[in-house]
Structure 1
């Protein structure tokens, strides 16, 4: 990747005061984020915090069980490895790239030192921790009360928020693992969505045809965390 000139599509970096961005800039390393790249291993010290410019990271829990389940996703609106910001050095969760992209990373200790020197930087970073907590809370609500089609619609909207264009590259098997449901249930729901003309499908991908229709199918389970992001970051971290 080319040396960074300071321009960014990452919402958290864009929300920083100029002085805080300059404080981080010498330590922000441009990185490729290929598919399946592990950004954090369960119960291992976190070495870097990642600020994606593109791509989607998946945060999963239940590592050590046969099939982990996704608890949240993060793209260019935020950063990956939140425990560093809260003072922890590791987590029982894992983070990996479910959709490839690019971004910047900074050493965990470098970021902690910058936070100690700047309350403003700390506030901006903690705002995203709050947003991700709201996303996780919404996931718990959806997993406990929503139907599989409602959960799937929510997930597709969240992924759509974090990519350019309308096509999501994901298999039925991957979606079933992330949602913690049977592959056949995902396939049935996607067929129904296609019949309703809110999506179209090809092998290994789903294209969003009618976003408003998909929002309606999510039946209120999508939007809470997204509104918090917009409220706290105004336009800098806005999803769509």
Structure 2
């Protein structure tokens, strides 16, 4: 798969990142993401957790390590039904926690071990996608008619701080067997949306030691398929920024 340098800014990891907190937050709000190179790798995870706590309020989730803030993203062969992120399959462009009433605004992904082949990262700014949507498509995507587990939400929302998106096609696929004719039209709309996303997305390769920080409400991210035996490993923390 052809890869390129991402369009969002990159910087070398710096000591005492708390001294540049506002700079990082501004980059997330204006550029959508930032890549910190050479972030310290350590088995204790303490440096990454301290970094996340300085940026915002991390979410503690039951499926994380010891129910804390950090989740390991690697192939999990210990269960027949792992979380989708813990499979080697392609994960199309999405936002995290799309099924929650209030998704976190930021996702931190540290690459501890890159994939030998495959596993390229996807990125797409919402602003880029909006420029390629018709008024009818925007209007349809703002209707609170889309299934996210046992709830329905709009995919696009216009707020005082700008446009926001929540999206994970997997949730709509779960409900596909019970779709009515009206939702059949919705499925065609989502197929068109997915196609535009594939055409517009940026593709790049996370390197070992990269720390990718994303605005989760104004961007989408994903990854390409990779081999099941791959040692690819990421650490993930979801949080809400201190603003």
TM band (smaller chain): under 0.3
Q: Structure 2 length normalisation: TM-score?
A: 0.28
Where relative contact order (Cα < 8 A, 6+ residues apart) is larger, the structure is 2
Q: Structure 1 length normalisation: TM-score?
A: 0.28
Structure with the larger strand share: 2
Structure with the larger helix share: 1
